[in-house]
Structure 1
Amino acid sequence: MAEPGRRHGVPPTMMSGWVGWIAFAGVIMVLLGVFHVLQGLVALFEDGYYQVEKSGLAVQVDYTVWGWVHIVGGVVIAAAGLAVFAGKMWARIVGVLVAMASAIVNVGFLAASPAWSLTMIAMNLLIIWALTAHGREIAE
């Protein structure tokens, strides 16, 4: 006889509630990628938007360079976020690596947009935690 709430003949799953954190990481990675692309487009087309001139940045390069770094990084992060849903180990590794790179890029961009960069860094830390602590469970 099947347990209440279970269908007869359906084996119990090994999946825990933590698998939601992996879905969260994938969604946040896609969102973070979109944010990076938007930030890159602003840097390309409206560099006067930021709080400091390029000489005030940690890495003193033109905002055009920062724009392209954010756009390329954003596309990579979003693609890695989509790949995380496949449950593959390589996708989790890439996800952690691009989240680390994104956090480093945002540390370099802190002077230009402090609140935004700190928010992005916090999102990256959540992604890293979710993918390293609970990543195996999505494959199941």
Structure 2
Amino acid sequence: MAAMSDNGRHPSAYDSKHVIGDAVFAGVALTVSGPLSILQGVSAIAHGRIFSPAGYTYRFDLTAWGWIHVVIGLALFVIGVGILLDKAWARGAGIAVAGISMITQFMFVPYYPVWSIIVMAFDLLIVWALSRSFHPGASGRR
């Protein structure tokens, strides 16, 4: 049985005031970014005509783009909740999925440029915050 810390929780590899601030920011940002991506995807699925792409290398059917954004948005939200619940798997997954989200937003720029650039910047902040607070292999005992 694992030893309990003074606060009644099992010790975590991420227990420090500095790490908690970055993790809380990233968790909240992911739980906001996820629904934004979901809304973007639902808009693309339901009202494909609001997006007006020109000839574009990464051109997909807008319904396909919509589903891509919905799936990524759900993953971002679930991982954000995992980070806020201090799940060890969530930090690495958050970096990976926020990076994937950044790439898909980049590919979506011709369809909806301002929104995509804002979400890309938000995803970059998430990757930065999670990278600052990520300590793989830490034992959790201090």
TM-score (normalizing by structure 1): 0.80
Between the aligned residues of both structures, percent identity stands at 32
Measured in 2, the distance between the counterparts of 1:57 and 1:80 equals 31
Instruction: Tell me how far apart the structure 2 counterparts of residues 27 and 75 of structure 1 sit (CA, whole Å).
Output: 14
Deviations 1:68-111 (A, max 9, x none): 00011100110001001232331100000000000000010000
CA contact (8 A) 2:29 2:122 kept: yes
Matched, 1:43 2:39: no
Structure-2 separation of matches of 1:134 and 1:92: 8
After TM superposition, give the deviation of residue 135 of structure 1 in Å: 3.7
2:17 is paired with a residue whose SS is coil
May I ask how many residue pairs the two structures share in their alignment? 125
Unpaired runs of 5+ residues, structure 2, are 1-5, 8-14
2:127 aligns with: 128
* Residues 1:85 and 2:75 aligned together: no
> C-alpha separation between the residues in 2 aligned to 1:107 and 1:73?
14
**Counterpart of 2:22 in structure 1: which amino acid?**
W
RMSD of the TM alignment (CA)?
2.1
Segment of structure 1 superposing worse, 23-32 or 86-95: 86-95
After TM superposition, the runs of 4+ consecutive aligned structure 1 residues lying more than 6 A away are none
- The answer to whether the 8 A contact 2:30-2:77 is kept is yes
Q: Per-residue deviation at 1:17?
A: 4.1
Q: Which residue of 2 aligns with 1:69?
A: 68
Partners of 1:58 and 1:109 within 8 A in 2:
no
TM-score normalised per structure 2: 0.79
- Runs (5+) with no aligned partner, structure 1: 1-9
Larger Rg belongs to: 1
